[in-house]
Structure 1
Amino acid sequence: MPQLIFLPGASGNTAFFHPLIEKIEKLPWQNAVKIVAYPEFNHQPAHSQVHDFASLQAYVLANIPDDCIIIAQSMGGIFAVAAALQYPEKVKGLVLVATSGGMDLSSFQVQDWRQDYQASDLNYPDWFVEAKADYTVDFAKINMPILLLWGDQDPISPLAVGEFLQQQFPQAVLKIVHDGDHLFLETHADQAAEHIAAYLSQFAAVQQSERD
């Protein structure tokens, strides 16, 4: 099975994924797991080559290994989509969770997260808040199995965003986590793990059939 690569959201909190990973690691097949930490985010040390959004994206993409499935939270979806577009030979699948980046959200009724983000005492780089990336015109090029996971109580990335993405990606399936807000991957890890396990099981079955 491909390695699972986890990309955090705007907080850069790598511990956010721990409840989910604990459940995924109990699956009947073995997946290697890697969480990509963002320099200067959530107490991570700085990196000499990361100084703006473009260089952060280059750093993240350089940490994407061969034969992987990316599981990305919120703004991490920007990097996941960029990786799938630039390295389709590496990225075999995507799990986009409550994605709030990589597309124009102006036509959706979304809550602006940036004010609370900037008020945080974690001193996030200002350039990340100002970053805007829109890959909408390229979504149709990402022809790989995609799981879209959305909470039905998310004001930052409402369910309508997930429904829109399901229409844009050729092989996307949308699953809903009931009573989940923007952080449901941590707070509703059981529900999320069930959907991801089903996605990985189907992925494994397809790979096996191709080998037979």
Structure 2
Amino acid sequence: MQLIFLPGASGSTSFWQPVQQRLVSCVSDRFKSQKVIAYPSFGHVSAHADVYDFASLTEYVLGQIQQECIIIAQSMGGIFAVQATLQKPDLVKGLVLLATSGGINLKPFQVQDWRSAYQQQYLNYPDWFCTARLDYSLQLQTISQPVLLLWGEQDPISPITVGSYLQSLLPQSKLRIVLGGDHLFAEKYPDQSAKFIAEYLAEWEAEAC
């Protein structure tokens, strides 16, 4: 069973390293295989001829998922995770979503506008994440895989109310809160984040046996 990690809109694959390092020592051998999917044109990743907008980036990411896996996704990476679960339910056996919209309409929630700050910080990045507008609210209710929702207590970009709403839509989901955590809590609090993920994986394995 492979653990697939998806970055947020920054495309930073190094974001996951602290959590990955901790998980190696606290999960069973079944979950030792780990893979981080990089996004072409983001971070230090070269452009790809077949990736030129959000739709083609989505197709590229989903194309990297070729074996049974559990996807662990940060922020905007959660949109790819949800799409992969909907399109490849035979391969995606579980989800861990961190501080994500999951592809729902965030207008009803009081969320901080991250797009303008993102565009100023990442001047040379494509604007695909900023322009993407997706709503999978109805489809989320069809996801039967177990889902762990991890949220930071003090996240203005994706507040706990978003996590609670996703929990109400996803039939087999649990919401856990990282105390003091902001939007990047997995990187800042890797011990707590890895602990929650390891507990989820242990429960998943127990149910699978």
Coarse TM-score class (shorter-chain normalised): over 0.9
Q: What is the Cα deviation at residue 101 of structure 1?
A: 4.6
Alignment check: 8 A CA contact 1:175 1:195 kept? yes
1:141 aligns with 2:120: no
Percent identity between the two aligned chains: 56
Q: Determine the structure 2 residue equivalent to 1:180.
A: 181
Worse-matched range after superposition: 199-208 or 74-83: 199-208
Q: Determine the structure 2 residue equivalent to 1:8.
A: 7
Q: What stretches of structure 2 of length at least 5 have no aligned partner?
A: none
Superposed CA deviations along residues 20-67 of structure 1, whole A, max 9, x for unmatched, are: 000001024122000000000012100000000000000000001221
Q: Determine the structure 2 residue equivalent to 1:196.
A: 197
Q: What is the Cα deviation at residue 125 of structure 1?
A: 0.3
Q: Which amino acid aligns with 1:10?
A: A
Q: Determine the structure 1 residue equivalent to 2:113.
A: 112
Q: Which amino acid aligns with 1:19?
A: P
Distance 1:20 1:180 in 2: 15
Q: Which amino acid aligns with 1:96?
A: L
Q: Determine the structure 2 residue equivalent to 1:171.
A: 172
TM-score by length of 2: 0.97
Q: Determine the structure 2 residue equivalent to 1:93.
A: 94
Q: Which amino acid aligns with 1:11?
A: S
Distance 1:127 1:41 in 2: 11
Moved over 4 A (4+): none
Q: Determine the structure 1 residue equivalent to 2:44.
A: 43
Alignment check: 8 A CA contact 1:5 1:36 kept? yes
Match of 2:150, SS state, is: strand
Q: What is the Cα deviation at residue 122 of structure 1?
A: 5.1
Alignment check: 8 A CA contact 2:102 2:136 kept? no
Kindly tell me the number of residue pairs found equivalent between the two proteins.
Answer: 207
Q: What is the Cα deviation at residue 116 of structure 1?
A: 1.0
Alignment check: 8 A CA contact 1:43 1:122 kept? no
TM-score by length of 1: 0.95
Question: Root-mean-square deviation (CA), in Å?
Answer: 1.0
Q: What is the Cα deviation at residue 144 of structure 1?
A: 0.6
Distance 1:199 1:107 in 2: 29
